[in-house]
């Protein structure tokens, strides 16, 4: 969509909903959108342009944690985090806790134990969601990313790993 198409959609939606988001928005498009809608906020890492209510939404129950295997997974994970926060959820972020440095994940075991839902983004071989699901007693949403080097095949390898996981609780 063009920036002006996004502006028109956001105007219509703003009249009906307290939160309006456009995802996968480039910095250039966000500048055009914000020129037309000064109330819009741009979340650069998440690539989200959003209109938020002047009074924050009530905090929703439950604890949501979002984990990434590596720093290359940050844009996808931050998109999920900002979306959840805009919808009123409290979010804990654990970045760069993949299996290549499993000690970083294990030193944050308390976050996993205290979470009601975990969203786990991973590229490369996509192993992190299975490891997390083996530690957690809550649903784990596995999100393959198309980043990484080697034989990740633009996200196909992590997707297949996540689909073939034997750990329970992976969604």
Number of domains in the chain: 2
- Asked whether residue 56 is domain-assigned, the answer is no
Residues 145 and 73 in one domain: yes
Q: What is the pTM of this model?
A: 0.88
Residues 69 and 104 in one domain: yes
- Asked whether residue 46 is domain-assigned, the answer is yes
pLDDT in tens, 85-110: 999 999 999 999 988 889 999 999 99
| Cα dihedral 153/44/171/130 (nearest 10) | 60
Q: What pLDDT shows up at residue 138?
A: 94
Q: What pLDDT shows up at residue 33?
A: 97
- Asked whether residue 17 is domain-assigned, the answer is yes
- Asked whether residue 33 is domain-assigned, the answer is yes
- Asked whether residue 57 is domain-assigned, the answer is no
pLDDT in tens, 6-21: 999 999 999 999 899 9
Q: Give the residue numbers spanning the domain of 30.
A: 3-51
Residues 74 and 139 in one domain: yes
CB atoms within 10 A of CB 84: 17
């Amino acid at each position: 969509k063009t920036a002006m198409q996004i502006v028109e959609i956001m105007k219509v939606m703003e009249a009906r909903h307290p939160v309006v988001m456009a995802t996968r928005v480039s910095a250039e498009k966000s500048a055009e959108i914000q020129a037309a809608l000064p109330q819009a906020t741009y979340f650069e890492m998440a690539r989200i342009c959003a209109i938020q209510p002047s009074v924050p939404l009530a905090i929703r129950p439950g604890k949501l944690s979002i984990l990434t295997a590596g720093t290359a997974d940050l844009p996808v994970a931050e998109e999920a985090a900002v979306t959840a926060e805009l919808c009123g959820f409290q979010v804990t972020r654990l970045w760069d806790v993949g299996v290549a440095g499993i000690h970083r994940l294990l030193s944050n075991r308390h976050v996993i134990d205290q979470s009601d839902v975990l969203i786990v983004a991973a590229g490369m071989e996509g192993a992190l969601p299975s490891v997390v699901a083996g530690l957690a007693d809550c649903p784990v949403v596995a999100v393959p990313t198309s980043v990484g080097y080697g034989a990740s095949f633009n996200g196909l390898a992590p997707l297949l790993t996540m689909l073939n996981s034997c750990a329970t609780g992976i969604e």
